[in-house]
Amino acid sequence: MKELPKLPFDNPAVLGIAPRMRALQQEGPVARVRTAGEDAWLVTRYDEVRALLADRRLGLSNPYPERSVKSAARSTMMALMAGDDYATEATDHPLMRELLVPRFSTRRMRLMKTRIERHVDELLDEMAAGPAPADLHRALSFPLPTMVVCDLLGVPWGDRERFGQWARGTFDQSDGRHSANTFQQVVDYMTELVARKRIEPGDDILSELIAEKNGTLSDAYIAQLGCAVLLFGYETTIVRIDLGTLLLLRNPDQRALLAEKPELAPAAVEEILRLAVGGKGSNALIPRYAHSDITVGDTVIRTGDAVLLAIGAGNIDGRAFPDADLFDLTRDKPKSHLAFGHGTRHCIGRVLARIELTAVFERLFRRLPDLRLAVSEESLRWQEHRITGGFDEIPVTF
């Protein structure tokens, strides 16, 4: 019997899709693979990934949970998305989206644009005035999304640093006890914050949720929603700022074009979102379970089977994107990438993420035109143990 390919695949590069992932994509749209917890179907081609993202027969919860082994971090992630229980997902997950989607309306996010741009300007000014080399991650990538999510939730300014560290601890798959303990700190903090806002409401998401449904939502449930906004609301944006900077440093002609024409920043953001895969690529896999039988090409995915939707591989599928590996700000009417998913579970915070990333990449290389890595790219360390991946340090000089 042929041994199944085992995830995560080795990747000699800091950025990009692992060679084994590319090879499987060439062989066909679906492959059986082995993971640390269970065997799964890996879907790698754009059309099939996109279709399955919108397929209601795939869910977050496992119909047969006794068959799978999840880390504490992964279990927490599923619970925050109201997708940890097969019996309740069909009602709980839509309710979560019903309550949170209006909080992230395009209109509201655009009203935040000026504040976000001011945050970026202040952070870049501080970085430029400081010594070089500096750590781009600590100076810009980490604080900006943290500031934004604190603004959204009405979190006191002095608490933003520990908020940022909590997300890292919660999504650490290497230490289940640390992950669980860190998440409990988030829950305790958010529960206390909700109680305070019942007495002194503000212009923030938690205060709005307190008033929802005639004030009948419990503090515990509002705190759960707040935890979801916090933990999903900024870690991926932090990762994208770091990866986007590296992609632009790798492509000096495109960086120069962006510095000359900052109006191309939205196009740069879409290319960053499409190509921003780091390390062994775990940040570009969306896990699902089949809630009924699904046929994909010649493959029948059975009820209860684990499915991994490789959005990173789909985003470099040459069938969908000509010259897919090229970072090109002038692509002519490109297809929609899959970085934010597709269909009913399309990322709630996608408009906000685009605004933050656009504000950064409109300014970064104009403010610091000589920005470059202070170390070799190969020496950067991707954090494989975190679900979201990411770097802890990006040394740069300018």
What is the DSSP secondary-structure string of 81-127?
TT-S-TTTHHHHHHHHHHHHGGGG-HHHHHHTHHHHHHHHHHHHHHH
Strand order, beta sheet including 134-135 = 134-135, 395-397, 372-373
Q: How far is CA 215 from CA 37, 197, 219, 394, in A?
A: 41, 12, 10, 45
Angstrom distance (rounded) from CA 339 to CA 283:
10
**Burial of 273 by CB count in 10 Å (0-12 exposed, 13-18 middle, 19+ buried)?**
buried
Q: Which residues of the chain form beta strands (DSSP E)?
A: 30-34, 39-43, 58-59, 134-135, 285-290, 294-296, 299-301, 306-310, 372-373, 395-397
Ranges of beta strands (E only) in 153-298 are: 285-290, 294-296
Ordered per-residue pLDDT tens for the chain, 398 residues = 579 999 999 999 999 999 999 999 999 999 999 998 789 999 999 999 999 999 999 999 999 988 777 788 888 999 999 999 999 999 999 999 999 999 999 889 989 999 999 999 999 999 999 999 999 999 999 999 999 999 999 998 888 777 777 877 898 888 889 899 999 999 999 999 999 999 999 999 999 999 999 999 999 999 999 999 988 878 899 999 999 999 999 999 999 999 999 999 999 999 999 999 999 998 999 999 999 999 999 999 999 999 999 999 999 999 999 999 999 999 998 899 999 999 988 999 999 999 999 999 999 999 999 999 999 999 999 999 999 999 999 999 99
Spatial neighbors of 25 by CB under 8 A, at least 6 apart, are 44, 45, 310, 313, 317
Domain boundaries, the chain: 19-397
Q: Which CATH architecture has domain 19-397?
A: Orthogonal Bundle (1.10)
DSSP 3-state helix, strand, coil percentages of the chain (rounded to 5)?
Answer: 55, 10, 35
How many other C-beta atoms lie within 10 A of the C-beta of residue 318?
Answer: 13
Can you tell me the distance from the alpha carbon of 63 to that of 37, in angstroms, rounded to the nearest whole number?
A: 16
Task: Tell me which residue has tokens 């995560």.
Answer: 8
C-alpha span between 360 and 311 (Å, rounded): 24
What is the value of pTM for the model shown? 0.95
